[in-house]
Structure 1
Amino acid sequence: MALEGNDRSIAAFTMAGHALVHWFETSIPIFLVVWLTEFDAGVSLFGIVVALGYAPFGIGALPGGVLADRYGTKRLIVACLAGMSAAFLVLSLATSIYAIAVGLVLWGVAASVYHPAGLALISTGVEERGTVFAWHGIAGNTGIALGPFVAATLLIVLEWQLVAALLAVPGVLAVLYGLSAEFDPTAAVADDVDAGPDDALSLSEFFADSRALFASAFALIFAIVAVEGLYYRGMLTYLPEILHGLPAIEGLVVPAGLEGIEPADYIYVGLLVVGMGGQYAGGKLTDRLEPARGLLAIFGVLAALALAFVPVTGLGLLPVAALCGAFGFFLFAIQPFYQNAVAVYTPPDTRGLSYGYTYLGEFGIGAASIAVGGFVLGEASLAAFFGVIATFALAGAGLSVALLAGLGRFTGAERPAGAKE
């Protein structure tokens, strides 16, 4: 990572935070399997309990963005790391389903502030923004892959309460690191920031800033992020189940000693690993390509991949694995582009609020595709499901065209790299 000084310090701090958010997030479903047996509760009841934890993760992004602008990004990220670690320590002491609910809600509230605060910090403090967005995304994917792997491995030999406590240890270490880390959070935009982190944002100012954002290019960016979230959440939620049912994968022989591990899981984890490369490539390209053009190109690819899925399933294992690899690459390559679009088209002193709205769209509105996708898979067909998914990408492409066409009319923001006068 060829970064120096302030950029390197912010990159290390935010990469640790991003990895840990997803480290905790993706370990929860592993614990769910144990809790269902431990507490002898129904799946639907525990589904509600787990939803109570995940819901604030998206809903809290908007107030998290406001708090980032109010109290400062570093302070909020350290609080996030401390809160998530404390939540897993609460889980380690849980003796009832109600205590588990408390721990999960605490985790969701704490985790919700990370994305608006972390991305706001990168966008205002880093000069090599595209590169840091890339490494930041890779760190998140690392947490996504390691969280369930480490939890599942430890649960083989340890009680779940001890595993929950051990998973909190990296978070505690990150808090100690964050308290000692030194960097300038506004180094990249110091001359453009009017309000300091301790200037209170009143309710009237919140509505005024929100109106100003949605009267600008950000309205299009918010819509782009929302449809990307619909594609992302619907795809990653149901792809494991879809892969398990494919004849090409069901017939795969598992090597001796690995019995009990589903081959489809290898392909899914591989998709997430390939996503690290997508994050890096997308982040590097944001330094060379204006956001609207990058978004348009990748949405087009994602639409084509979704429409190709059902025909490819009949071609055998290798084509399916290759298609999933392509899904992973482009599904994560698009993220640095919309993250950079927010930085390009919004004022620095409302960056936290901007990213709060962004992740409300990504995780909040995006979650609706779980219900939509489940209905389509249950009542229609696999082809219909991927048709709906492709529609989300096509909508994103259309919105990207609108963003590109309106480039010359958007004011009060940076000029995208590569844009013509």
Structure 2
Amino acid sequence: MPEPRILILSNRDPEEVVDEPPLAQRVGSGRLRLGREDGSAVVAESVLAALAAAPGVRVAHRPVLRPSEVLAAIGDHRPDVIFNLCEALDGDSRHEVMCAWLLAGLDLRFTGSDHVALRSCLHKTEANRILARAGVRVPATVRVEGPDRIPEVAFPVIVKPEREDGSMGIDRGSVVHDRRALRDQVAAVVAQCRQPVVVQRYVHGREISVSLLGWPTPRVLPPGEVTFQGLPEGHPHVVTYESKWRPETAASIGTPSSAAVLRPLELRRVVAVGRRAFEVLGLRDYGRVDVRLDERGTPHVIDVNPNCDLSPDAGFARAAARAGLSYADVVWEILRAALARGARHDDLLRARGRAPARGRAAARSAARGALSAAPEAP
């Protein structure tokens, strides 16, 4: 029986020459930079190392930039399952849904959320509307096209780009307390990010990260908390772009993350709202829900990230470690979920009197057998 084939798809730097060797062949070269721009490559190398350590599987990694490169990678490697780390196409993070849409259209098994969930989470106003209709508490949010179309709002508010993640477009001026500052910040973000913004009521309280892992029933990993005591005077208690991607800055040094210490009732509320937001928006395999506690300790969902950073030193991996999971445990758990969906899909086809694609069911069965040799997560 042939070895099951796993393909890792990640983002290719638009400035990278196409004829260069794939990043998978340059592991350890020291070429990578720290920062948002190459985060996908860092994660891909880590996932590659975790998967390649298992016997009986064939693992390949292809950085892609355009839809045609996604199709070429699939044609070259004929994968049984794809570890999808592609968060953008054509260098635009707003196209992150496209890769998942292509893979689903080709009836390929892939990790992570599908294109419907990715699109809902990408558009923050839409995500908030879906959550609010489902009874999940979210801060009041309005979509604003530009500085001349600002409705009446209750201050303070935070201004964010509508279709970005990774704290793109968020800086120390993002929290505003009057209409003039709001107008200036809206104008700055629209000019910088070239898209509408969301203006959201600012909840001044503890920020808790709720990470979830698995499918079809995700487990909630021990929550983490961002602390803001080390920020310079006057800096709002928000995680800015500098906080996440510029480790040498005061904003990053002043916002460390650690295990959240919560009273039993607070913990139950935070876990419940995180799980509910994950399920309502249709996330699967892994994701992170960011929650703020108001002055009464009531949790409000401020962001839902279906493709949160899977770097070994990022918050998701630290949450997994608090649950006793190694980085390899996390990678295999995510991959097993994609294979389990494949098995369920094949069973459904058989129940309807249709046979799965020739050879594909056997290959996925072999992949599940190979993955069973990997250590089960506790």
Relative to the length of structure 1, the TM-score reads 0.27
TM-score, normalisation: structure 2? 0.29
Instruction: Indicate the structure whose relative CO is greater, using CA pairs within 8 Å and at least 6 residues apart.
Output: 1
Question: By percentage of residues, which structure has more strand?
Answer: 2
Structure with a larger share of its residues in helix: 1
